[in-house]
Structure 1
Amino acid sequence: MAQPALVAHPEWSLAQLADALIHTPGTVGAVIVGAEHEFDPLSLRGILTRAQVADWRLDPARWDPLSTLSLEDMQENWLPAEVLQGSLTVEEALATLLARPHDHPVPPLWIAIPRPQGWGLWDPTPHLWQCMRVEGSLAPSQTDATLNQLRQQNELILNSAGEGIYGLDANGMVTFANPAAARMIGWSTAELIGRSMHDLLHHSHPDRTPYPRTECPIYAAFRDGQVHHVVDEVFWRKDGSSFPVEYTSTPMRDVQGRLVGAVVTFRDITERKWAEAALKQAHEDLERKVQERTAELQRANQQLQELNEMKSRFVSMVCHEFRTPLNTILFAVTCLERYRHQLSEADQNRYVQGIQADIQHMTQMLDDVLLIGRTDARKLSPQPAQIELVQCCQDVIRELQLTHTAANIQFQSDCPQQNAYLDPSMLRSILLNMLSNAIKYSNPEQVIQFRLLCQQEWFVFEVEDQGIGIPLEDQPYLFDPFHRGSNVSTIPGTGLGLAIIKRLIDLLAGHIEVSSQVGAGTTFRVRLPRHYRYRDLAPTP
């Protein structure tokens, strides 16, 4: 029994029949047959091709009046049946079409048959045509409703799918497209039918360079018959914009197994790309934070190691620097205790003065350590006052000469008198430590130059000696607490003087420079600003 593919009712317009043809994969048109009377033999009456319909649709002035006409009302627009193969009967014409050589295949044509029961559309494959000929009737069968229901279900599935789905014939022309596909690329479904999908949405790479059809995985399915799945390309919209897609091209075969086209499914993966980019950025941020934290831990570990080394040097220094004066004090006390009646008053006074000097030395050393701690903990801030710099420098020299009578310090100033707003205690500590170092590491007969320069923006204090100098390898660590030069030998010292100088100068917003040559001497140059708002610096509570 014949299996009708579609039943068209008599009131169908051209638009309805055209829509049925366009949405039926693999068709190129309809052969219209009919009879003068109900029981007369059927004969060819004309042809409607999908190409015709496509041309009409492109011309609104022609399509609008034609689209509403019924098939019978537009007979003058049919192509004449003779274009098939002369004046043939229906059976002869279809047999001729179906028997053409394989190198000139003719895609299936639908047969539109006007009958009293309605218009019927059939696929004229040899088997189906044989069934129709044997039955002797081309009237719709009882299976029409079932097939129509299946077609509607298939259309419902395609129209409801969230993914874009479209079909291509063997030439790469669109045979159907679901609403999701049309919506994603900005075209209407009707605009897509019969056009090259590659030219519409897959013509360029993401960088807008041409994408040849011969390299397109979608069209490769026509050549190799394999399913091609691509996860990272772009499709182009009608407005010229693009969006990332993942698509699958699946080849279609007819009942003889021949490749007749492909079905393509695709999805917009913009949100997935955003998520991947966000995840990648999160990973990069996390990695950067880990690196930063690792660097912080490494710095903290290095600082801890430096602190441990400093503690070790401090303990060593304290043991050494305290042991000597304590032994001296112990020896002096023992002598006074045992031999006081045998010592003259001058000898007794000399022992007492030695004890006092050693106690003063240890007290100063403890004060230096405490000062280093206070500056590191930001517990110390400048307390500026009006002072006269020339007088201050001369007072420091006199103070040093009380304990270093052999020291030869020559003071020079480019101004006879200069008032300044500085912390007098900090300035005194800076100058005392600079001059004490110069005295300590120089011979008594060597001259120490002490200069005061009053510049426009700075007060400059220079101390130049002719002592042992500082080795080049020690200079980077010159201001580290407890660090001493490798050439100091047995010269006593704590390694705190220059560290104190540097911290006090920083608190006064100044700078210190050093130039030195081993065996030739050292010059320290301290610059303190003439105008500085010390109230901006406040100690940490």
Structure 2
Amino acid sequence: MYSLARFSLLEMTECSAVLRQLGEQSSSLQDAASRAVDYLFRTLGNPDTGARDCVLVRCFKTVSYNRLNPMTQQRVREQLGGIAPFPDLKCFTLMATAGEEAEWNQVERSHRYRAIPMVSADFVKQFPMFSQLLHQFGLSSSFDVAPEGEWLVDLEEKTYNVFYVPDAVGSPYVPVQEGFVLKYGVKSVLCFGGMLPSRDLFVVVLFSRTPVPRDTAALCKSLALSLKTSLLACDETVPLEAGVDAHSSSAPVFGAPEQGAGLRHQSRLAVAEQLLRVYENAVRTQSAGIAQAKQALWERANALERSEQALSEQTRIVNSVLRSMGDGVVVTDAEGQLVVANPAVESILGFSPFDIPLTAWAERYEFFHADTVTPFGQDEWPLARALRGEKIDWLEVYLRASQGMPGRWISINARPIKDEAGVLSGTVVVFHDITWLKRAQDALFESEYRFRSLVEGARDIIFTLSADITITSLNPAFETVTNWSRSQWMGEPLVALLHPDDAGFCQDVLQAILERGAPLTCSMQISTKQGGYVTGEFVGTPQMRQGRVIGVLGIIRDVTERRRIEDALRVSEERLRSIVQSTKDAIVLVNALMKVAFWNKGAEATFGYSAEEIIGQPVTMIIPERYHEELERNVQRVRLFERVQLTSRTLELFGRRKDGGEFPLELSVTSWKGKSDLFFTIIMRDISERRSAEEELDRLHHHNQVVLNSAGEGIYGIDRDGRLTFVNPAAAKMFGWEAEALIGQPFSTLVHRPDFREGASGERLSPIVETIQGGEIREEADSRFWRRDGTSFPVEYVSTPIRERGDIVGAVVVFKDTTDRKRAEEQLQDSLRRLRKLSGRMEGIREEERGRIARELHDELGVGLTCLKIDLSRLGGLLGERLEPRDRAKVDEKIRGMKEQVDSTITSVQRIVAELRPGVLDDLGLVAAIEWQCRDFQRRTGVACHCTVSHEDLRVDPEHATAVFRICQEALTNVTRHAQATEVHVRLEDQGGGLLLQVSDNGRGIPSDRLADARSFGLLGMRERAGLLGGDVQIETKEGSGTTIALQLPR
């Protein structure tokens, strides 16, 4: 057998010779292919173990569609969607197959690869192995044929090639990964082949379970030439030289037409010429190679030197391996003298073999056979037998100490070491300490004696059944659980004990155990003597005797409590899974190799990698290189506590997202030990926002300190107990204390004298205390704080609660010394009082002056105008008697104009007199004056004005009546000037203790900025006039909806 793992040039030559001979012995091309495939399947393997290297070997050849059998043609049409191809279309056809499975040894049972039509490059790509094979051979979907002799040599070099897949697992060129490659352990795929003179391709495909090195793949080019020679002996197709016009044909690469068998002789002559030219080129190549031999020898010398260095390195590695092995290894020379012994030998034997000669080992130990009684003779020692050329495998030896040392059980493997000529050069002996195994066996023997007592004392029901499912034995637990007597159920069918709902199913399970000879489990309910049922979990195992199932051994355990725990555990796992997947933190599980094993959705959102991308990758992918050492150091610290069930360490560093961006994160490493492996749970949290918040907090703290220290207002804080926690410089200065001296002191005794707690007398709590207790912001505009010297000063302050996580932990008080402001306010109020008194006096004088002017205008000017009108009338009469009629008319017209002018002037004087001081106000009172004012307003403006009074005989003193009248007059004047109203309502009402005057319009309203404008003298005048008498003017307005002016005046 030839191993693909170490296929030599000599083995290749021998294999090639056999392939050529197989063609001479074959009756047809398919017979030659079958012989070659069968030979390669049987011959390629491990010569030491006899195991075959190949799982499957197949040979393919291109064949025209019209030469295929009907079944294969049908397969081709199916692949082409039912369309019949051209008769000369070439198809990659399975010629021979050999493999481990029975169906792999028959061409007819192959379906997908029976025949592959070469209709186009795109179609062939559906079969990636063949598509890549053509590419590897240097062939495209079509090429021109040239029959010249030089082309044959080019074709030889071009088409003898190898398609090599070193790692079949996961390769896109090797199909059926799950059901073939992984299932049968295919490691490499090797294809070799070429082109026949008939322009048909042939290829052999080896699916090897042994990894094929690249050197072996290169040697297979020679196998391709030998296989071609074997196939040529039986090829009945037309050669290339048989009448094909190279320059006129543009057919597909596998579409050349075939001729009859009469041209076979010419084809073989062409092949012979082709092979002669190939061999001639080979001879020339070998001749040229001799010239390179000297250079090759020099290179070989260098290679030998490198080999010696590699051997030295390999020796170092071997020594390292020997030192780290748990088994003892001893190497001797051909004389039995010790050459190598690793440290494990001394650990196993209790002494160094270099200190004591091998012949003196009997002084330390006696060697016994497995019965621990029969001693070994010196010629039976494993070392002695290995020196005689024997191979010893797993020989168990008992070493009994002769000097009080403990005995040991040792398993020994020994091999003779021979050189290339087969001459013994030494031995190697491997000691494996199996003392623990023997002790385990002894414990097993002892456990068998305990088995019955365990069965008898078990709390689970243990029983046996015969082949007809009747009970043959029951342990005492049966009586404890069911209260039935064991003797009562011996020989009875088990199903009679079961709940009717379980009887049929459990009967099938028991029958399956008896038929399959395999253990099965199920749940069942067993009846109790009291009439109830016990739910249990049944485990049934077949009882065997001489390879035959004779019954069932069953165990029933009450699983009520366990199921309750399992349900609780399932709920807990679901809750944990929900938490892990819903949290925003990245939760990553890594194994002991620091490879990612679990990746939650929070990790996907944090780093940008999906679980499919990151699982199986090193966790350092998400950590910048500068932090790798720190991460490894912390993981190693956690690893030191792996005996502890749960340990954790937390650190802060930077993470790296998929896009390369870095961000700060907080990383917590937790280790936990599974059944056999150590795992690490890494919880990572993006702390970018927290870092920003901390920086902002520091900035705000600095800013607050600056504000506190530079603020002119006093600021201090207290806790829930009323003790001062901070005081700014301005407050300390106002209090007359140093800020440090106030910290921790009760504010109620130092700066704010009202009691901190409500006393027995029920006095009011301090607003600051109410802030702490109620959580409300309190403002005090008039309070007093106390200085260190015992004096007080007026303040206004605002107390605001301090909250942490929703709880009130204190309050901050901001206050201002209002001494200067109080003094200024008092001065201002005094000035206002004097100004208002002065204004009232001025208003009285103004009204008196208006009345005087009105009277004078009425008495003097009114009377004079009336007299003038009378005189004009007289003058008209006198002149009329003396003038001519024509002149008289002119004079009358002129006098009439003068009289109208006098009447107009009288009317204006009356109006002015009324505005200055309406006589109706003095003569008839306020109600008549208001009603007259409304009628006059309507007459002058044309705006409907409705007047309503509550009492017709409303009596008001002259001062109040004048104020009400003037305010009403000013309100109507504003309506005329600004409101653009169409209707006005005036209401005068006696409210018992005061008067109400209300003037409402439906105009455009007063803009809010004008209400607050200090230059609105009309509105200001109304308020001042009302204020002089202790009244108030309220204005309600909305733009577009009118205005209401209401006067409240006490009587």
- Specify the TM-score bucket, using the shorter chain as the normaliser: under 0.3
Higher relative contact order (CA 8 A, sep 6+): 1
What TM-score, normalized by structure 2, do the two folds share? 0.15
Q: TM-score, normalised by structure 1?
A: 0.28
Larger Rg: 2
